[in-house]
Amino acid sequence: MSSLFAFTLLGLFTGAAYAIMASGLVLTYTTTRVFNIAHGAFGMFLAFVFWDFTQRQGLPTVLSLVLVVGVVAPAIGWFIQRFVTRGLGEGPVSVALVVTVGLLVGLIGLAQQIWPPEPRVLLPFWSGTGWQVGDTFVTAHQLVTLVCAIAVAFGLYLLLSRTRIGTAMRASVDNPELLKLFGGKPDRVAALSWAIGMSLAALGGILLTPVVLLDYYALTLLVINAYAAAMLGRLKSLPMTFAGAMILGVLESWAVGYLPTDGFLASFRPVIPALFLFAIVVLMPQAQLRIGQVKGIVTAPVPTMRLSLGSGTGLLVAALLLVNVVAPNQVLLIGVAATYAMVMLSLVLLTGYGGHVSLAQFTFAGVGALAYAKLDEPNLFGLLLSAVIAAAVGALVALPVLRLTGLYLALSTMAFAVLMDKVVFNAEFAFKFNGTLAADRLSILGMRIGSDTAYVWFMVLAFVLLALGLLVLRRGALGRLLIAMRDSPSACGTLGLDLRWFRVGLFALSAGVAGLAGGLFAGLRGTVGAADFLYFQSLLVLLLAVVFGATSVTGALLGGTALMLLPEFQAASPSMAGLLFAVIGFGAVLLGRDPNGIANHVFRIGRWLRSRIAPGLEGRLQGLLPRGGGSDGAVDVPLVDIAVDVEKVG
Amino acid sequence: MALLEVDDVVVRFGGVTAVNRATFTADRGVITGLIGPNGAGKTTCFNVITGLQRPTKGRVRYRDKDVTGWPVHRRARHGVGRTFQRLEAFGSLSVRDNVRVAQEIHGGPLAWFGGRRGASGVDLLLDRVGIAEYADERADSIPTGTARLLELARCLASDPQLLLLDEPSSGLDETETDAFGELLVELAAEGCSILMVEHDMDLVMSVCHDIHVLDFGEIIASGAPADIRTNPDVQRAYLGYAEGDGDTSVIPAIEEVVS
């Protein structure tokens, strides 16, 4: 009994720190409708700043704390609201998600660049001081954490219910437009809530650092804890968020106390927040469709069938030349690029066409690879079965959030990716901890594609076929449905479309494509392990897909190539490793508002060249080619229009 | 016999009661009007009937089944179709594809992959509501009145038995409104029941079989057009005062007030 008391007490202290962090997340989300996935990353970054102030600059602890929480954090919060997230809340959820994922990756890169990896210790406050309470020892740091949490709760209560601006903040939760009409200033409210939110992220991060260590990733992942806690209050209620944080802290503490220290169950401790999250999400009530929510619409370019076939053939010829020319080790790299490009194709379907965001796409590739290696059926049947398994897992992830809106689905995928990364992939039945599985190259009709060059070319062929398949879907009924669903979910509902199952199906299809890529990747590598499918990789896949264009297969091709090159560049100049992450992350922040990405600019240059070099050729070509929209009824939007759209969006 | 029965429905948003114990019916094969001043709760009633809004209290029965707990799409598949006051056309699709999507949704998942091609019924529908000339234009580039007709065509593509029209004639000129009224009568004659929220009193009075009047969330009058015209409660709701019984001159005034 007494040890139960001790573990519960310990849990409450950790929970108090989670509560501080989670309340910041809720505050920014409710007032500005932007869910800040980088909340934990900001906590991480500011904890590093605090370390820098106290350890490197040698400032007194209390002064550093005041500077970080009271000056640096609010300034960053104001800056982010003013220049990055302003207006994101009114746009599509997917854009806000991509932008904040960009911030997350960018902050990790920036932190690595400023504070290169080395052991760092951030001592607890008044370390060594503490008191005996019953059979447990309460440190001064734990007491400080609890006091801070109570102060934050009390302070937020006073702010929100006793001050003018606090009332305005509560009003902006319901209707910022109305607030403006009544003379309120939504921008000032938003800036203030971001400033406070950032301070709370900093405070939470600093208080938790002695528990989770000063680590780029561990602190960043605290956003899942905060999110899980906040979900108990449906991302709205602060008291429920505090309660959720405390429950989470206690559950984690009990896990430390009562779960075995080795074996499969031991690995569950780090994923308690993710499991807690799934449990709450399953119990959430059905979200209602909303009308009058028509979002900014970006048209995805669809090439004619002729052009698609031509480009695909061109790519295959180019790949054939390339694999026979480049050095043997670079042949494998082309295969890696093809893998990434295929995973990004799955995002073209899900994000570019469907408007949903997945933060676990490379994890699905991992599921496909695992299935392919485990099945040990290196033929088309085994490959397809791996894809089907990945699709089934994708459906399982989407099922709990069936009744909720897109934001929850995206956030759950991140929790899922962490769960797979930390527990399932490392389990005995999977790759095993630090282990790998062997996977054979694919055989087709009994012919084993053994050589690197042939196998890599086959992967490019798979990419081309998938891309063509995707374009056929896009031009057909499914493509129209996807656009319709993005333009007006309620109209689709009142016409008889079950959006919930449609979304699950879409998600499964997308996961299946990623799984197929994973299976091929396993064959390419020969051995695959959990280290190949870290959750962070999924974030990079998403960001590069969006930067290069999540609405076109060309974007997937470019993005896949770029993601393959990234570690090569990082290996070539290790001092710049973090900077490259920062460039990608902040690049996505800048480009995330336009999902057509760089690919669209490539199309524009192409059109410009054609009009300059061979004016009139376009017209003659158009005359020769049967345009869609007529006989096959495809959605054939003239490319010029898209350029105009993009300018409007940008 | 009633096709749709709204029974004692209450909808509260926080402290505001948008619909208060509303009870009304819509009969098979006729046009029923739902009128009332702005903010009376008409669109909220539509949302409750289609399932976009869960009522705080009360039941909705459709074809003698209690559909209160049914999700939106299930009601739609059983023949409840609607148009929206604030347009919900698929803006980035062409007008033709808007209707086509509706047909495909109606056809079910098997129709999405490959499936039926060259839907000729689509053009017939566009022709029927009189917007065939816009077929190839993007739905967000057409005039409001046309977009409302598009929503009607889109709804008809899913073969509804009960059609809910939310201010369908706003944005139409006089000739277009007349043609639209004729179309509604035709549809009703074919067996499609129509429940319509409408501010154009001439249209309402000329095509509706029954009219329900909603004011501050409550049904204050129900009956045939002639009764509604002379009902003192209705006059009070629209004008703030009631004129002498039998004085039909109030109707043009209503029209001015609301438009």
Spans of all domains in chain B? 1-79+161-259, 84-159
The pLDDT, as a whole number, for residue A195 is: 96
Where are the domains positioned within chain A? 2-255, 305-624
The pLDDT, as a whole number, for residue A298 is: 57
Which residue is associated with the tokens 């995805």? Answer: A300
B105 touching A (Cβ < 8 Å): yes
Cβ-Cβ contacts under 8 Å, B136 against chain A: 629
Rounded CA-CA distance A196/A27 in Å is 8
The closest of A598, A639, A575 to A109, measured between CA atoms, is A575
Please name the member of A289, A629, A635 whose beta carbon is closest to the beta carbon of B72.
Answer: A289
pTM for this entry = 0.84
With cut-offs at 50, 70 and 90, classify the pLDDT of residue A576: confident
Q: What is the pLDDT of residues A505-517, one digit of tens each?
A: 999 999 999 999 9
Q: Would the CB atoms of B101 and A495 count as touching at under 8 Å?
A: yes
Cβ-Cβ contacts under 8 Å, B94 against chain A: 629, 635
With cut-offs at 50, 70 and 90, classify the pLDDT of residue A648: very low
Which of A:622-641 have CB within 8 Å of B?
629, 632-633, 635
CATH architecture, domain A2-255: Orthogonal Bundle (1.10)
R_g over Cα of chain A: 25
- What are the start-end ranges of the H helices in A127-185? 140-162, 164-174, 176-181
The pLDDT, as a whole number, for residue B114 is: 54
- Give rounded-to-5 percent helix, strand, coil for chain A: 75, 5, 25
The pLDDT, as a whole number, for residue A290 is: 58
With cut-offs at 50, 70 and 90, classify the pLDDT of residue A635: very low
Give ipTM to 2 decimals.
0.88
Q: Would the CB atoms of B112 and A491 count as touching at under 8 Å?
A: no
A581, A112 Cβ separation under 8 angstroms: yes
* Site from A298, A486, A495, A506 to mutate, B interface, most B CB atoms within 10 angstroms: A495
Q: Which residues pair with A136 in a beta bridge?
A: A133
Mean pLDDT score of chain A:
85
A436 touching B (Cβ < 8 Å): no
Q: What is the pLDDT of residues A261-282, one digit of tens each?
A: 776 677 777 788 888 888 888 7
CA A570 to chain centre: 22
Rounded CA-CA distance A292/B86 in Å is 6
Rounded CA-CA distance A171/A161 in Å is 11
In this predicted structure, the answer to whether residue A292 has a pLDDT above a threshold of 70 is no
Q: What is the pLDDT of residues A314-351, one digit of tens each?
A: 999 999 999 899 988 899 999 999 999 999 999 999 98
Q: Would the CB atoms of B52 and A476 count as touching at under 8 Å?
A: no
Mean pLDDT score of chain B:
87
The pLDDT, as a whole number, for residue A618 is: 53
The pLDDT, as a whole number, for residue A501 is: 87
Q: What is the pLDDT of residues A72-114, one digit of tens each?
A: 999 999 999 998 888 888 777 888 888 999 999 999 999 999 9
Query: Treating both helix axes as pointing N-terminal to C-terminal, what angle do A2-32 and A238-258 enclose, rounded to 10 degrees?
Result: 140
Compare A606 and B145 and report the one with higher pLDDT: B145
Q: What is the mean pLDDT of residues B30-51?
A: 92
Cβ-Cβ contacts under 8 Å, A495 against chain B: 76, 81, 101-102, 105-106, 154-155, 158
A178 touching B (Cβ < 8 Å): no
Alpha-carbon distance A85 to nearest alpha carbon in chain B (angstroms): 26
Q: Would the CB atoms of A480 and B113 count as touching at under 8 Å?
A: no
Cβ-Cβ contacts under 8 Å, A497 against chain B: 73, 76, 105
Q: Which residues pair with A139 in a beta bridge?
A: A130
Q: Would the CB atoms of B117 and A633 count as touching at under 8 Å?
A: yes
Which of A:480-499 have CB within 8 Å of B?
480-481, 483-484, 487-488, 490-499
In this predicted structure, the answer to whether residue B257 has a pLDDT above a threshold of 70 is no
Alpha-carbon distance A115 to nearest alpha carbon in chain B (angstroms): 47
The closest of A35, A26, A41 to A85, measured between CA atoms, is A35
Cβ-Cβ contacts under 8 Å, B147 against chain A: none
Q: What is the mean pLDDT of residues A14-24?
A: 94
Q: What is the mean pLDDT of residues A209-216?
A: 87
The pLDDT, as a whole number, for residue A458 is: 95
Q: What is the pLDDT of residues B104-145, one digit of tens each?
A: 898 877 766 654 555 568 899 999 999 999 999 999 889 999
Q: What is the pLDDT of residues B182-218, one digit of tens each?
A: 999 999 999 999 999 998 989 999 999 999 999 999 9
DSSP A406-455: HHHHHHHHHHHHHHIIIIITTSTTTT-TT-EEE-PPPEETTEE--SHHHH
CATH placement of domain B1-79+161-259: 3.40.50.300
Compare A123 and B220 and report the one with higher pLDDT: B220
Alpha-carbon distance B86 to nearest alpha carbon in chain A (angstroms): 6
In this predicted structure, the answer to whether residue A409 has a pLDDT above a threshold of 90 is no
Please name the member of B47, B97, B158 whose beta carbon is closest to the beta carbon of A495.
Answer: B158
CATH architecture, domain A305-624: Orthogonal Bundle (1.10)
Compare A631 and A229 and report the one with higher pLDDT: A229
Q: What is the pLDDT of residues B210-252, one digit of tens each?
A: 999 999 999 999 999 999 988 888 888 877 776 654 444 545 5
In percent, the amount of chain A with pLDDT more than 70 equals 90
Q: Would the CB atoms of A494 and B71 count as touching at under 8 Å?
A: no
In this predicted structure, the answer to whether residue A636 has a pLDDT above a threshold of 60 is no
Please name the member of B72, B77, B101 whose beta carbon is closest to the beta carbon of A481.
Answer: B101
Please name the member of A477, A483, A629 whose beta carbon is closest to the beta carbon of B92.
Answer: A483
Q: Would the CB atoms of A480 and B104 count as touching at under 8 Å?
A: yes
Query: Treating both helix axes as pointing N-terminal to C-terminal, what angle do A597-613 and A553-572 enclose, rounded to 10 degrees?
Result: 110
B106 touching A (Cβ < 8 Å): yes
B101 touching A (Cβ < 8 Å): yes
Compare A607 and A53 and report the one with higher pLDDT: A53
Rounded CA-CA distance A244/A241 in Å is 5
Q: Would the CB atoms of A483 and B81 count as touching at under 8 Å?
A: no
* Site from B13, B50, B68, B90 to mutate, A interface, most A CB atoms within 10 angstroms: B90
- Amino acid in the structure at residue A108: I
Cβ-Cβ contacts under 8 Å, B154 against chain A: 491, 495
